[in-house]
Amino acid sequence: MAELIRLEKLRREFPSGEDTITVLKDLDLVIEAGEMVAIVGASGSGKSTLMNILGCLDRATAGSYRISGRETAMLEPDELAALRREHFGFIFQRYHLLGELDALANVEIPAIYAGMTPRDRRARAADLLDRLGMSDRTDHRPGQLSGGQQQRVSIARALMNGANVILADEPTGALDKHSGEEVLRILEELNAEGKTIIIVTHDMNVASRARRIIEISDGVIISDRANAPERPAPAPVATAAAEQTRRGGYLRSLADRFKEALRMAVLAMAAHRLRTFLTMLGIIIGIASVVSVVAIGQGTQQQVLANISNLGTNTLEIFAGRSFGDTRSARITTLVVADAEALARQSYVAAVTPTVSTSATLRVGSQEASALVNGVGEQYFAARGTKLAEGSFFDAASVRNRATDVVIDENTRKTLFADGASSPVGQVLLIGNVPARIVGVTQPQQGGFGSSQNLSVYLPYTTVQTRFLGTMSLRSITVRVADEVDTSLAEQDVTRFLTQRHGSQDFFILNTDDIRQTITSTTQMLTLLIAAIAVISLVVGGIGVMNIMLVSVSERVSEIGVRMAVGARQGDILQQFLIEAVLVCLIGGLCGIGAAFGIGQLVQALSSDFTLIYSTTSIVAACVCSTLIGVVFGFLPARNASRLDPVVALSRD
Ligand code: ADP
Ligand code: MG
């Protein structure tokens, strides 16, 4: 028979405080293919340690271990995993089945890591369970099976990848006599089929079933003898057909392992629903606040921009005084009609209108209301882009003649001509005690500045100056800059021009472009600032995810050990936990986006002043962001899991 396993001067030491203890002391051992070997010895003699090294779960401290002539000492963890996957099937005393999976799925696990197609995998697992008399229990979970049945499932798992060596560490240790006998019979049968069986036991009755008994004591082999089994080996059962495993392509196998990792992640999340939800909550709150803050910011910005768009794009508003609220501005009387007329002659000016204003009580019949009385030039409406609902604007002649022609706004029409029966145009309106003829009604201005609930009426500025104010100075001059001229250049020029005329700069200019830019940058700044605070809550959420993932890993150390024993690569384990973290974050992120929409609906239902604008960018960014959080904060726990020592992981219960 061919030599399968060769140990030379194999030594295994464990650190123990300052010292090291030597558990295996320079063992030499050769096992040939097809043997059935029992390793016996007292408890603590080093049987399991030897077994773990044979199964490539553990490494020797010194010496050589060759399997089929291949030295294992220098192999990488993933190469050892490949050996476990292809050559070894483990049977443990405590079965080590995964509690969340049914019998069939447990048996399938090694084949997932080996890359068998799902259909072949399922069929083969069902076959093996059938062969072990478990065909009616394939959908039972380990908790629903007796010890003997669980051990049979674990034997099926060991056979799944067509291992040629079965390593059984006290396989009957936890079983009653009958079940133990059953397991031994199966092992004998497998040996008869040509598999190499290595059983570790402290029970001489079990050992006597093997054809070779190796006894170790205190880490040295004290006897190695042939044994004639009490019963003749059963005739080989033809299972050769079942040995051939069909492998799919590399990509498909990768996708398959990904699917398995996904399924395990979902199972793990479902097993701890409340915990998962609480972990998610951090992400939900973080994402919801970031998305809503950005939406509110954008909504506000758009609203304000829509408001000032009523000012027209390229207008300059020249006021007396140094700035708004300048207490002297009322006394500064240097801004006069002549200024407006001079400005109108500049080449870059499209329209100019002086404005003055006062307030007065309007009366029509028994109706009374107070209103803002604007004295404006005939170009005012063109400069401001105001449109008429009916009638016409007054013209230059009205301004020259100080006519009492009045244009009223929509609010005034609604207040004073509420019946709507007759058109107000042509009717007489008493402004203070000045009767004026209504010539036109403006269209409502959508949310423009000063478009509140105030009533506004427009008269020629000459009329307001003489009949109401008794002064010739102006409140402001509105200049519409010609389309082809840059507004800020025009502003510079107007400043220079008026400063020259007045001898000093006793006015200030509002440039609508500036206002727009200021508002845009201010809201963007604010949005950024609040979003930054919300991002901090996301980071806190991410730390929560990391914390729970660490807990999840430490809870599932034994599962990780089992997966490693059946051949999972480090990458498979890493992937499984990373997927779990990403899934928690991504689902949290999606819930967060949903919550943000909910908040938007609520805000809009409660007050119409707010508009929330959800941009696709912010939603995509939220998804990407939560995935990233999962990857970043899940990485450390997942890497910890993938770097666990399989022996240490398996021994944890
Ligand atoms: P058994 O023959 O009962 O299976 P083991 O191989 O499990 O014995 O253990 C043999 C000896 O090695 C014991 O004394 C045990 O304490 C020690 N040992 C096993 N694993 C470790 C470890 N990871 N660290 C330190 N000592 C260990
Ligand atoms: Mg042991």
> What DSSP line would sit under 365-409, residue for residue?
TTEEEEEEEEEE-TTHHHHHT--EEEE----HHHHHTT--EEEE-
Per-residue pLDDT at 226 exceeds 50 = yes
Q: Would the pTM count as exceeding 0.85?
A: no
Question: Mutate which of 16, 45, 49, 647 to test ligand 1's pocket (most atoms within 8 Å of Cβ)?
Answer: 49
Per-residue pLDDT at 364 exceeds 60 = yes
pLDDT at site 541: 87
What is the b/e burial string over 564-583, where b = at least 16 CB atoms within 10 angstroms of the residue's CB? bbbbbbbebbbbbbbbbbbb
Over range 437-443, report the average pLDDT. Answer: 89
Report the SS3 class of residue 284: helix
As a whole number of angstroms, the distance between CA 501 and CA 505 comes to 9
Q: Which residue's alpha carbon is at the smallest distance from atom 5 of ligand 1?
A: 46
Which contiguous run of DSSP H or E holds residue 318? strand 315-320
pLDDT at site 237: 43
Q: Cβ(48) to ligand 1 under 6 A?
A: yes
Chain-wide mean pLDDT for the chain? 86
pLDDT at site 455: 85
pLDDT in tens, 49-59: 999 999 999 99
Q: Which residue's alpha carbon is at the smallest distance from atom 22 of ligand 1?
A: 14
- Ligand 1 atom closest to the Cα of residue 170 is 4
Report strand pairing: 349-364 vs 428-431. antiparallel
Q: What separation in Å is there between the alpha carbon of 46 and the centre of ligand 2?
A: 7
- Ligand 1 atom closest to the Cα of residue 41 is 2
Q: Which residue has the higher pLDDT, 330 or 173?
A: 173
Q: What separation in Å is there between the alpha carbon of 409 and the centre of ligand 2?
A: 96
pLDDT in tens, 161-205: 989 999 999 999 888 999 999 999 999 999 999 999 999 998 888
As a whole number of angstroms, the distance between CA 304 and CA 298 comes to 10
pLDDT at site 61: 93
Give the torsion through C-alpha atoms of 200, 206, 211, 217, to 10 deg.
Answer: 50
SS (H, E, C) 99-126: CCCCHHHHHHHHHHHHCECHHHHHHHHH
Name every residue whose Cβ is closer than 8 Å to that of residue 290 and which is 6 or more positions away in sequence: 531, 534, 535, 538, 592, 618, 622, 625
Q: Cβ(142) to ligand 1 under 6 A?
A: no
pLDDT in tens, 556-569: 999 999 999 999 99
Per-residue pLDDT at 520 exceeds 90 = no
Here the tokens at position 639 are 């890497």
Report strand pairing: 36-40 vs 212-217. parallel
Report the SS3 class of residue 508: strand
- Ligand 1 atom closest to the Cα of residue 647 is 23
As a whole number of angstroms, the distance between CA 461 and CA 339 comes to 14
Q: Which ligand is nearest to the CA of 42?
A: 1
Q: What separation in Å is there between the alpha carbon of 85 and the centre of ligand 2?
A: 22
Q: Cβ(42) to ligand 1 under 6 A?
A: no
Q: Which residue's alpha carbon is at the smallest distance from atom 12 of ligand 1?
A: 23
Q: Pick from 431, 630, 640: which is nearest to 539 by CA?
A: 630
As a whole number of angstroms, the distance between CA 290 and CA 534 comes to 5
Here the tokens at position 147 are 């010890």
Q: Cβ(52) to ligand 1 under 6 A?
A: no
pLDDT at site 312: 59
Over range 131-152, report the average pLDDT. Answer: 93
Q: Which ligand is nearest to the CA of 47?
A: 1
Name the band, by pLDDT with cuts 50, 70 and 90, for residue 335: confident
Name the band, by pLDDT with cuts 50, 70 and 90, for residue 247: low
Q: What separation in Å is there between the alpha carbon of 107 and the centre of ligand 1?
A: 29
Q: Which ligand is nearest to the CA of 52?
A: 1
Over range 433-450, report the average pLDDT. Answer: 76
Over range 442-468, report the average pLDDT. Answer: 76
Per-residue pLDDT at 140 exceeds 70 = yes
Over range 608-612, report the average pLDDT. Answer: 73
Question: Mutate which of 10, 14, 198 to test ligand 1's pocket (most atoms within 8 Å of Cβ)?
Answer: 14
Contact 256, 115 (CB under 8 A): yes
Question: Mutate which of 11, 16, 23 to test ligand 1's pocket (most atoms within 8 Å of Cβ)?
Answer: 23
Q: Cβ(12) to ligand 1 under 6 A?
A: no
Q: Cβ(49) to ligand 1 under 6 A?
A: yes
As a whole number of angstroms, the distance between CA 234 and CA 314 comes to 101
Q: What separation in Å is there between the alpha carbon of 21 and the centre of ligand 1?
A: 10
Per-residue pLDDT at 309 exceeds 70 = no
As a whole number of angstroms, the distance between CA 315 and CA 7 comes to 93
Q: What separation in Å is there between the alpha carbon of 26 and the centre of ligand 2?
A: 19
Q: Which residue has the higher pLDDT, 421 or 27?
A: 27
Q: What separation in Å is there between the alpha carbon of 8 and the centre of ligand 1?
A: 20
pLDDT at site 578: 93
- Ligand 1 atom closest to the Cα of residue 216 is 2
Q: Which residue's alpha carbon is at the smallest distance from atom 26 of ligand 1?
A: 14
- Ligand 1 atom closest to the Cα of residue 648 is 23
pLDDT at site 421: 66
Contact 592, 293 (CB under 8 A): no
Q: Cβ(449) to ligand 1 under 6 A?
A: no
Over range 632-647, report the average pLDDT. Answer: 94
pLDDT at site 245: 47
Q: Which residue's alpha carbon is at the smallest distance from atom 24 of ligand 1?
A: 14
Over range 228-246, report the average pLDDT. Answer: 49
Tally the C-alpha atoms within 13 A of residue 46's C-alpha that lie toward its C-beta.
Answer: 25
Q: What separation in Å is there between the alpha carbon of 44 and the centre of ligand 1?
A: 6
Q: Pick from 634, 632, 614: which is nearest to 573 by CA?
A: 634
Per-residue pLDDT at 139 exceeds 70 = yes
Q: Which ligand is nearest to the CA of 173?
A: 2
> What DSSP line would sit under 166-197, residue for residue?
EEEESTTTTS-HHHHHHHHHHHHHHHHTT-EE
Q: Cβ(14) to ligand 1 under 6 A?
A: yes
Q: Cβ(201) to ligand 1 under 6 A?
A: no
Q: Poorest-confidence range of 206-215, 344-353, 570-579?
A: 344-353
pLDDT at site 239: 43
Domains of the chain: 3-248 (3.40.50.300), 260-305+519-651 (no CATH), 314-511 (no CATH)
CA distances to 100, 132, 140, 556, 647 from 143, in Å: 9, 18, 8, 17, 24
Q: Which ligand is nearest to the CA of 169?
A: 2
Q: Which residue's alpha carbon is at the smallest distance from atom 21 of ligand 1?
A: 14
Q: Pick from 605, 585, 564, 642: which is nearest to 52 by CA?
A: 564
- Ligand 1 atom closest to the Cα of residue 200 is 4
Q: Which residue's alpha carbon is at the smallest distance from atom 14 of ligand 1?
A: 44
Q: What separation in Å is there between the alpha carbon of 53 and the centre of ligand 1?
A: 12
Q: Poorest-confidence range of 70-84, 141-155, 247-261?
A: 247-261
